[in-house]
Amino acid sequence: MYLGIDLGTSEVKAVVIDAEGKLLALAGTPLTVSRPHPRWSEQDPQQWWQATCDTVAKLRAQIGPEHFKKISAIGLSGQMHGAVLLDARDRVLRPAILWSDSRSTEECAELTRRAPDLHEVAGNLAMPGFTAPKLLWVARHEPQLFEQVACVLLPKDWLRLQMTGQKISDPSDAAGTLWLDVARRDWSDALLAAGGMHRGQMPALVDGSRAAGFLLPALAQAWGLSPEVKVAGGAGDGAASAVGIGAVNAGDGFLSLGTSGVLFVVNDKFRPNPARAIHAFCHTLPQRWHQMSVMLSAASCLRWFCRLCSVDEKTLLEEVALLDDEALANAPLFLPYLSGERTPHNDPYALGMFHGLSHEHQRAALAYAVLEGVSFGMVDGLDALRAAGTGVQQLSLVGGGARSAYWAQLLSDALNVRIVTHVGSEAGGALGAARLAWLADGGEEEVVCRKPQQQDSFIPRASRHAALMPRLQRYRDIYRPWPALPSTETAQ
């Protein structure tokens, strides 16, 4: 059996699959995000570790201790771009700065000035969410701490350090740092130097489907596993979700509705297009790459609205489903920029909003606007991918948002593409991580990475697509860049 662990922003999720790829167990433990200042997002890595151990214990209880011992390999998936700073004794120097943190806007401009070939080598614009600008911010605002940095690890790779004692990453996750030569799949000494870093502060790199260490004996005993259990290289969450959904060959793609929203399409070569804020990253499998459009707030917008109205998602979605065509046509519009935005605006100062409210609007209409606004953000991302020469006719839907058939149909209507869901697709990156563990244990890619059984299919409806297009245009017209906010980004 194989264990896959996905370190997300809102929870640690893990699954166990058997040697046929069948999902045997799924468990999760929630996480919290600290926002001590505007535009800051941080987490304590110790919270990740406690949640990981708690989640593994839940799986062991589900399966039974004797059966759990049969696990032979573990795979890791994780939120990308986060910066875990370690000193020479591997102690965490400060809370991890997350992908959704946007304090380093000025440092992005500085990095671009220092590295004129950044876009060609890294394949991406310098954005505050990426790792390299975060370290420039630390060097500027926390210089004494910066001098102590002996290693920078991405979130899932810090988990690996706790599990194996090894500092190792994979190309898919490393591509999100802006320190990687993405075409060569190796660290770029020039890009590192532009950020005041060097290769000695970076982890080793292995493909995500290769073994990258073994469980430490004491941890193996605590988890009820053998110390011979391999730990695979793993992947950033997008690439791991792709492996889980079987998106491993050129042209395969998926749409992820998690905390953030991702459109992911596999390429057979490195195809950067930073002008449209498209991400070009390594896939976690050898000699493959991918393009992504990313919106920073997706299913998290719905969770935010539910908290605001003190209602659960199931009840709210049931209310939305009762709205008729007239109510949909007259619903307000929602901009989903609660954490700024990447594709297509690359605007960390972008703010969310409801537009067009009246006394007649009830919470169901506002909830529909949230679902529609996120869907329109995905349309912007798809248009950017198409402008980059990437064609899409069908997308698999993964992540927490995949549980809603209503939202899946709305996405199909807005994007004008066929949307399919798969059995187990809610497992997302955790399933992909488990599959990478299987590959590291000798599994064959054609068998391990087959597409999961299809659950539902959603075909775009011409009438609804036509009705949505005028609203999409108004949605786009509402957005205007905001001026930079007064800086609160001082060292604490």
Q: Return the active site residues.
A: 237
Helix axes 462-478, 363-387, angle to 10 degrees: 90
Half-sphere exposure at residue 165, Cβ-oriented, CA atoms within 13 angstroms: 8
Give the residue among 98, 109, 63 at the shortest CA–CA distance from 176.
98
Which neighbouring-strand residues pair with 454?
422
DSSP labels for 17-42? E-TT--EEEEEEEE---B-SSTT--E
CB 6 within 8 A of CB 237: yes
Give the residue among 123, 119, 101 at the shortest CA–CA distance from 111.
119
CB 350 within 8 A of CB 481: yes
Whether residue 483 is preceded by a cis peptide bond, meaning omega within 30 degrees of 0, is: no
Give the residue among 248, 160, 239 at the shortest CA–CA distance from 204.
160
- Tell me: is residue 292 an annotated ligand-binding position: no
Task: Say which DSSP state 370 is in.
Answer: H
Backbone φ and ψ for 414, nearest 5 degrees, come out as: -70, -45
**What do you get for the CA distance between the two ends of the chain, in Å?**
46
Give the residue among 196, 253, 7, 41 at the shortest CA–CA distance from 128.
41
Q: If DSSP codes are grouped into helix, strand and coil, which group holds residue 13?
A: strand
Q: If DSSP codes are grouped into helix, strand and coil, which group holds residue 422?
A: strand
- State how far the alpha carbon of 255 is from the alpha carbons of 125, 289, 377, 425, in Å: 22, 17, 12, 11
- Tell me: is residue 80 an annotated ligand-binding position: yes
Rounded CA gap, 436 and 39, in Å?
34
Structure tokens at 257: 């509705």
Length of the chain, in residues = 492
- State how far the alpha carbon of 171 is from the alpha carbons of 165, 243, 284, 305, in Å: 20, 14, 6, 36
- Identify each DSSP E strand in 278-389 by its residue range: 279-282, 289-295, 333-335, 353-355
Tell me the binding residues for substrate. Answer: 80-81
Tell me the binding residues. Answer: 80-81
